[in-house]
């Protein structure tokens, strides 16, 4: 009997908690997130993206893996556009936006009405918009605004909303509704919120602090 029990436990071990999150999954994700937090080049963001996608496609039921894969492609897009402001860089960033959108759709199918997913939707629209603002603001701006509003509705306290709002306020030219002082204030608020945030688990979205601090450091220069 005891042997039977033990064997049962073993089988449970071997089949790795097919429901919920297995230890292996959590560990792998933790490792990937640690790597992600060190990413600083388009290449490293792609490596991160591929890593998350691997986990996502092996698990198939974990929205977070798709979420992070999408996030990594978005960040790769931003990295690729660095220094190209004022040019049409859509050929470079649209494929990343497309890929991120496809991955995010899979995340959304697993996790409906999630504030974090809405935030990525907003970021994808912003990435598309920035590639060719003159021709795209009419189509992309409403998508970005709508996603942002949805994110707020679902979780008003999400610190990443404050981060993106601060970023938008700070980097948008004043004549288009930007405001440096307000932007800085929002980013400072975002830092406070990000420092105080309590993610539901070790692998739930918690990113943003280093970005907020980086933007603030750039401003104080």
Partner 1 sequence: MVKWMLLVACLFAGSAYAQVGISGKVLDNKKRPLKGVSITIKDSYDGATTDSAGHFSFTTTEKDSQLLVISIIGYTTLEQTIFIGSVKLELTLQMKEEISELKAVVITAGTFEASDRKKTTVLDPIDIVTTASGNGDVTGALKTLPGAQQVGEKEGLFVRGGTAAETKTFIDGTLVNNFFYSSVPNISQRGRFSPFIFKGTVFSTGGYSALYGQALSSALILESIDLPEQTSADLSVSVIGVGGGYQHLAKNKKSSFGLSYNYTDLRLAFAVIKQQQDFQKVPIYHTGDANFRIKTSKTGMIKYYGYFSSNQLGYFVNSIDTLGYLNGFGLKNFNMYHNLSWKENLGRKWKMNVGMSYTNNKDNIETALYNEGKQEVLLQGLEFKNFQVEQKGNYFNSKLVLERRYGRLNMIRFGSEYNFSQDFTDYTAYNNQKYKQTIKENISAFFAETDLYITNNLAAKIGGRLEHSAFFDQTNVAPRISLAYKTGKSSQASLAYGVFYQNPETRYLPGSGILDFSRATHYIAQYQKTGNGQTFRTEIFYKQYHNLVKTVSNGSTQVALNNNGFGDAKGIEFFWRDKKTIKDLDYWISYSYLDTKRDYLNYPMAIQPDFATNHTASVVVKKFVQKWKTGFNAAYNFATGRPYFLIQNDPGSGKPEFKDQGKTPMYNNVSMSVNYIPSIGKQNAKTFVVYVLSVSNIFNIRQVYGYQYSYNGYRKEPIVPPSRMFVYIGAFFSFGVDRTEDAINNNL
Minimum CB distance to partner 1 smaller for 185 or for 213? 185
Minimum CB distance to partner 1 smaller for 57 or for 195? 57
Measured in whole angstroms, how far is the alpha carbon of residue 114 from the centre of its chain?
A: 12
> Tokens standing for 161?
């909303």
**Minimum CB distance to partner 1, residue 167 (Å):** 13
> What gap in Å lies between CA 36 and CA 98, rounded to an integer?
20
Local structure of 143: helix, strand or coil: helix
**Minimum CB distance to partner 1, residue 103 (Å):** 12
List contacts with partner 1 (CB under 8 A). Answer: 2-3, 6-7, 9-10, 13-14, 16, 24, 28, 43, 46-47, 50-51, 53-55, 57-58, 86-88, 90-91, 94-96, 99, 133-139, 141-142, 145-146, 149, 152-153, 172-173, 175-177
> Tokens standing for 79?
């990295």
Minimum CB distance to partner 1 smaller for 91 or for 196? 91
HEC profile of 98-145:
HHHHHHHHHHHHHCCCCHHHHHHHHHHHHHHHHHCHHHHHHHHHHHHH
**Minimum CB distance to partner 1, residue 213 (Å):** 25
Decide: 74 and 100 in contact? Cβ < 8 Å: yes
Q: How many helices (H) and strands (E) does the chain have?
A: 10, 0
Decide: 137 and 168 in contact? Cβ < 8 Å: no
Residue that the structure tokens 């556009």 belong to? 81
**Minimum CB distance to partner 1, residue 129 (Å):** 10
User: What is the biggest distance separating any 2 CA atoms in the chain, rounded to whole angstroms?
Assistant: 77
**Minimum CB distance to partner 1, residue 209 (Å):** 25
Minimum CB distance to partner 1 smaller for 113 or for 195? 113
Minimum CB distance to partner 1 smaller for 57 or for 113? 57
């Amino acid at each position: 009997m005891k042997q039977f029990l033990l064997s049962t436990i073993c089988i449970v071990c071997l089949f790795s908690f097919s429901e919920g999150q297995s230890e292996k999954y959590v560990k792998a994700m933790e490792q990937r997130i640690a790597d992600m937090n060190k990413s600083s080049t388009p290449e490293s963001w792609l490596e991160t993206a591929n890593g998350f996608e691997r986990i996502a496609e092996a698990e198939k039921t974990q929205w977070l893996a798709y979420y992070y894969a999408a996030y990594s492609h978005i960040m790769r897009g931003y990295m690729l556009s660095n220094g190209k402001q004022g040019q049409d860089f859509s050929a470079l960033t649209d494929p990343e936006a497309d890929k991120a959108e496809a991955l995010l759709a899979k995340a959304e199918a697993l996790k409906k009405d999630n504030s974090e997913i809405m935030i990525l939707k907003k970021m994808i629209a912003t990435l598309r918009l920035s590639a060719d603002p003159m021709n795209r603001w009419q189509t992309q701006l409403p998508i970005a605004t709508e996603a942002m509003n949805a994110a707020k509705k679902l979780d008003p306290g999400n610190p990443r909303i404050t981060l993106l709002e601060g970023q938008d306020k700070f980097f948008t030219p004043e004549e288009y509704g930007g405001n440096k002082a307000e932007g800085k204030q929002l980013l400072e608020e975002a830092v406070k919120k990000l420092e105080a945030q309590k993610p539901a688990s070790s692998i739930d979205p918690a990113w943003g602090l280093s970005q907020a601090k980086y933007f603030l450091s750039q401003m104080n220069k």
